Structure 1
Amino acid sequence: MSTAVPDHVLRELGRTEGDADSLGLLVRDQDTRRLVLLRALLDAASAAPATVCPPPLLDRLREDWALLEAAERTDRAAVRTVLFHPLAGPWAQRLLGGLTAQAPAGPDLHADLAHLTALAAAAAIRAGVAFESRLIARVGPACLPTLGAVRAGAGPVGLSYRDDELTLRPQDGPELTVRCQPDRTLSSADPRWLPVLMLRAILPGGGPVTLDDVDPYGIDGGGLPRYGLSGTARVGDHERKEWADSWSGVEPLLRLGGDHRLTEAAALLRCVVPLSRPSGSGPDGEGAAHCSGTRREAFGAVLSSKPATAAYFASTLVHELQHTKLAALTALVQLHRADAAERYFAPWRPDPRPFDGLLQGAYSHLALADYWQRFALQARRVTHQDLAWAEHARCREQVGAVLPVLAGSAALTLEGRTVVNEMISVYHRLDDNPSPPGHLARAQAYVSTAKVIWQQRNGSRRAVRSP
């Protein structure tokens, strides 16, 4: 059932904008859905037959849940930092599916159940609640979500936390001690401890953004290779400095795109999952050398290979946070009634797209066209202006190729038509500052060529294409 969304919010979001109140509506809804999902996990585990959730696993789950409740009584905000961590979403969806499948429990389900221990431990550490527990790694290092991980080899890892000191006891190897700092980050001189890099807050007073390369649910499942996304990249010390340096330049570059770009990044972005470069990538960090994405079940996460420059980092956030925003909106209100058939031409993809994918892509590319135009108008160096105008022209022509299909669709709901109408208004507003003729001609040729190639490749499957 759709929840009423105020008309002014629909219009703001349709313009790829949104003030703090409008974005807060999306955030609160997503956080509430996460809490409901977590409660559903506990109920599903209790209702599952013993073949799915054996009594020892159910007892352990209830112990973990009790630790979460104790930690929340001490520091609710600290616990919700963990529970609302974007990568807890894919884990929760996966575990709920396993518990309700009625199939005998296998290693994957056991590992997913065990991950609740990691979440509860991380929440207790953040809340300063003493505990004793045992951590079992799903794959790779044993992870404490939002905090870090430990290289511990095979077998469980004993945990003991009190007085801001965490002791980890691997099954093989000596124990190690990790200190909890006043900002609730964990540090250790032992090289087996892998801390999560905290990127500074986008706006003063906001929370830091985690660069999470240790959580096993970062790209788990979801068919991500289909979309050209590579695997999670382990970030070494040298790469950490490169990520941090690039991040330091993002805030002023986002500001070039308007204050609303800073507002949406501060409100929506909670973590960045670093990806390795796509196979066959080149050296410049763009095109085939770069990939990025989002996951509907991981609200607040942007998955990205390392951008070559801060400007591309900023544009990646603009692009991907539109997907985050529109996905959260569609969880609140139905924008269209189209089926999932993949039949539409989209100049940013070689394969036919479903209507929802067409809307998502047009929305994000419209925001990019707006961002790069503002960038071009304020850039001082000619090379920066040329880059920005080229990107603006390409994105604007791509959006123009599909807007008639969206606008002419009978599948749009009233809310969806409001959103699309606002998108059209932004598209025409871009004409107030046209790109230089050379850039426009190249962009038009690019889209025309993409259409010809698409028709040659998909003609026999094509049911609808943009005019």
Structure 2
Amino acid sequence: MSEPPSGTEITLNRHRIPASDLDDLAVGRLTPGTVHRMRAVERSRRMLMVRAVAETARESAMGLGAALPPVQAALDLLLRVERIRPDVVADLLEHPGTGIWAVRVLERLRGGDKIPGEDQGGAPLWMELGYLHCLAAAAALRSGTEGTIRLPVREGGVALPTLGRIRVPAATARDGEVPAHTVATLRILRAGAGPAVLTIGRSRVSLPTDPSRASDDWQPVRRTAWGQGKNAASLVLEDCDPYRDFRARALPSSSVSLSPEQAERWQQLLSEAETLLDARHPRAAELLASALRVLVPLPPEPRFRTASASYNEAVGSAMISLPPDAVELAVTMVHEARHSVLNGLLHQLPLCEEDASGSESPLFYAPWRSDPRPLSGVLHGAYAFAGVTEFWRVERRALSGAAADLAHFEYAVWRTAVGETLVILRSSSGLTEAGRQFVERMAEEVEGRPDEPVPWWPRHLARAEVADLRAIWRARHTLPDPGQVRALTEAWLHGADPRTAPGVRSRLLPDPRAGSPDARGELRRLRLAAPETLLARARAVSDDASRPRALAAADVALLRGEPDRAVSGYVKTLVAYPELPSAWAGLGLALAESGQPAAAQALLRRPEVVRAVHRQAHEWCGRSPDPVEVADWIGRNPAVRDES
């Protein structure tokens, strides 16, 4: 991190990755050498980002003003620490919050401070820059380096990354409340000479000599032991760093600050998840111990809607909502750890041409997303869900009853999804040479496992889930050629033989309104795990627009094995909501169950064409035709049915 003399050319060592690292990472294996190389790359990257922040702040005239010392003062303190404890500075550079902060501040500095700030509920720019001072203070405290530094007070506290948060006394404000934005001074004594003291106004706070011990004025980071033996590591349950949540463009963060009871629940689930992974998923446990260092808790979500996210500039961090049980936490952590590993790998070399050129790439279907994804997104998802598939492949053998049925279902769904996306990846010209090697090794691992049988009922629901996901995606994001739709509609209205009717091509047209996944997937999981709650949950996720009550009732009928009733329900829904993708896909599933394969194939393979012909016929005739009749006729037209 050493600062070069002014005008000196900077030459960084080139990082190299052996081909064996690609092979190991492709199958979810992290060797000590691979971990060392990936961390070295992240440190170099963060070092450059910190330097860019300092240089841009100096050049831009938008800086700290009189509130805090110059950025150089914080850098000088970090450099002092690095000379005696380089490991401490390296750890702070690898801290995920450092990457999130650097990206955010650089965006504000280079964009003329257009990112939401103080006037929109966020922090002023000087306060955001002051996080560098907080990093320097944390380095000094951890190394026992003597010094004094002014720090920003944010939401009633002072953050010390990787250590915790100082709570500022309310008495520092005249009206009895802590000012939203102010400055405090931290005096750090040399190691063993006494506690550090924070001064703000007339108040003084002494920090505990043991930073892991909580007090009225000190909230330490919540650390939990993770893994055993060679996999032993420390995982931080991060709820006090202001840059824990990469999605928050302005404060307050959308992540949560945990109560003691919530923290205890998290610790319990983490302990149970760690035991489960160590016992039945040793490779995944090893990857988690090496790949994740921070878990950011999010508010709880309904069952089967656990939220999670990773960020390419926060390698080592995962945001996860409080799950219902340890199994769900374990599989979500496996999923996000793989995303984090791939983010780290992509900082070493590009796997897709878009990574190298920055140009736009074609978009593709990915079963785990409701929106079309670029090739890099398909690769990310395939890699993460390969780990998820392997988790459920093993887990379903260890569970029993409804839990085992659910695990069989998840295994069958994601095994199919990963297989489909590997076909996309292997046939694409958008991979780099390294990307092709990575994908081939991943495919060999996936295909090398036997195609294990799945019991009938979860297999049946899994096939419906796979067909449903694709049909809804097509209905949302593909547009059939208008002229060909008119020709096909005219042929249908004139009673033409469907076998000789014209075909229709469709093109991708992403719908930005497509948001969260359709609720029918959640209901299938409930049907397996807790069928008694199916009706109540179906009603809970319905409203008057995107998911009307008639659609919910049809879904319940379908999942209860009443296909004729479901057909009637979906047709009723389409009378009032003729554009609704979920109703068209649901109708296709119900028709398949009721023994009408031609109509079902049309709706599940080309729902956008059936809907377009239905709409065109309505416009020409002034009344809505029977959607089942339209679908059946189109389903017997191979020129449409088999066109993709």
Q: Same fold (TM over 0.5)?
A: yes
User: What is residue 390 of structure 1 aligned with on the other side?
Assistant: 409
Aligned positions of 1:296-375 closer than 5 A: 296-338=312-354, 339-341=359-361, 343-375=363-395
Secondary structure of the structure 1 residue equivalent to 2:373: coil
User: C-alpha distance in 2, partners of 1:22/1:300?
Assistant: 14
Q: Does 1:202 align with 2:248?
A: no
After superposition, the C-alpha distances for 1:185-224 in whole angstroms (9 at most, x for unaligned) are 343431x432211111434474421111111112244789
After superposition, the C-alpha distances for 1:284-306 in whole angstroms (9 at most, x for unaligned) are 3xx22x20110111111111111
Secondary structure of the structure 2 residue equivalent to 1:150: strand
User: What is residue 473 of structure 2 aligned with on the other side?
Assistant: 454
Aligned counterpart in structure 1 of residue 243 of structure 2, from 212, 217, 227: 217
Q: Does 1:179 align with 2:208?
A: yes
Q: 1:208 to 1:180 in 2, by over 3 A?
A: farther
User: C-alpha distance in 1, partners of 2:405/2:220?
Assistant: 40
Give the letter for the 1:305 counterpart: S
Is the Cα contact below 8 Å between 2:164 and 2:240 reproduced in 1?
Answer: yes
After superposition, the C-alpha distances for 1:129-169 in whole angstroms (9 at most, x for unaligned) are 23222221344532111111133221222322333513233
Is the Cα contact below 8 Å between 1:406 and 1:420 reproduced in 2?
Answer: yes
Q: Does 1:148 align with 2:173?
A: no
- Greater Cα radius of gyration, structure 1 or 2: 2
User: C-alpha distance in 1, partners of 2:23/2:92?
Assistant: 32
Q: Does 1:77 align with 2:87?
A: yes
User: C-alpha distance in 2, partners of 1:296/1:28?
Assistant: 16
Is the Cα contact below 8 Å between 2:315 and 2:341 reproduced in 1?
Answer: no
Give the letter for the 2:197 counterpart: T
Is the Cα contact below 8 Å between 2:186 and 2:198 reproduced in 1?
Answer: yes
Is the Cα contact below 8 Å between 1:78 and 1:126 reproduced in 2?
Answer: yes
Q: 1:441 to 1:17 in 2, by over 3 A?
A: farther
Q: Does 1:237 align with 2:260?
A: yes
User: What is residue 31 of structure 1 aligned with on the other side?
Assistant: 43
After superposition, the C-alpha distances for 1:343-378 in whole angstroms (9 at most, x for unaligned) are 31111111111111111111111111012112223x
Q: 1:329 to 1:22 in 2, by over 3 A?
A: same
User: C-alpha distance in 2, partners of 1:200/1:309?
Assistant: 19
Please, which runs of 5 or more residues in structure 2 have no aligned partner?
1-13, 119-123, 169-177, 480-506, 511-604, 606-642
Q: CA RMSD in A?
A: 2.9
Is the Cα contact below 8 Å between 1:257 and 1:370 reproduced in 2?
Answer: no
Kindly state the Cα deviation for residue 413 of structure 1 after the two structures are TM-superposed: 1.8
Is the Cα contact below 8 Å between 2:69 and 2:150 reproduced in 1?
Answer: no
Is the Cα contact below 8 Å between 2:64 and 2:127 reproduced in 1?
Answer: no
Q: Does 1:68 align with 2:78?
A: yes
Q: Which has the higher contact order (CA 8 A, sep 6+)?
A: 1
Deviates more, 1:360-369 or 1:99-108: 99-108
Aligned counterpart in structure 2 of residue 170 of structure 1, from 192, 196, 200: 200
Is the Cα contact below 8 Å between 2:64 and 2:125 reproduced in 1?
Answer: no
User: C-alpha distance in 1, partners of 2:213/2:130?
Assistant: 24
Kindly state the Cα deviation for residue 117 of structure 1 after the two structures are TM-superposed: 1.2
Kindly state the Cα deviation for residue 122 of structure 1 after the two structures are TM-superposed: 0.9
Kindly state the Cα deviation for residue 398 of structure 1 after the two structures are TM-superposed: 1.6
User: C-alpha distance in 2, partners of 1:71/1:24?
Assistant: 22
Is the Cα contact below 8 Å between 1:232 and 1:273 reproduced in 2?
Answer: yes
Q: Does 1:41 align with 2:53?
A: yes
Q: 1:210 to 1:17 in 2, by over 3 A?
A: same
User: C-alpha distance in 2, partners of 1:104/1:23?
Assistant: 37
Kindly state the Cα deviation for residue 177 of structure 1 after the two structures are TM-superposed: 2.2
User: What is residue 227 of structure 1 aligned with on the other side?
Assistant: none
Aligned counterpart in structure 1 of residue 187 of structure 2, from 139, 154, 160: 160
Q: 1:166 to 1:266 in 2, by over 3 A?
A: same
Kindly state the Cα deviation for residue 42 of structure 1 after the two structures are TM-superposed: 2.8
Aligned counterpart in structure 2 of residue 410 of structure 1, from 429, 432, 454: 429
Give the letter for the 1:218 counterpart: R
Q: 1:246 to 1:188 in 2, by over 3 A?
A: closer
Aligned counterpart in structure 2 of residue 19 of structure 1, from 31, 48, 54: 31
Aligned positions of 1:244-255 closer than 5 A: 244-255=267-278
Q: 1:302 to 1:441 in 2, by over 3 A?
A: same
Secondary structure of the structure 1 residue equivalent to 2:448: helix
The alignment's TM-score, normalised by the length of structure 1, stands at 0.87
User: C-alpha distance in 2, partners of 1:276/1:406?
Assistant: 35
Secondary structure of the structure 2 residue equivalent to 1:180: coil
Kindly state the Cα deviation for residue 383 of structure 1 after the two structures are TM-superposed: 4.6
Give the letter for the 1:83 counterpart: L
User: C-alpha distance in 1, partners of 2:114/2:64?
Assistant: 10
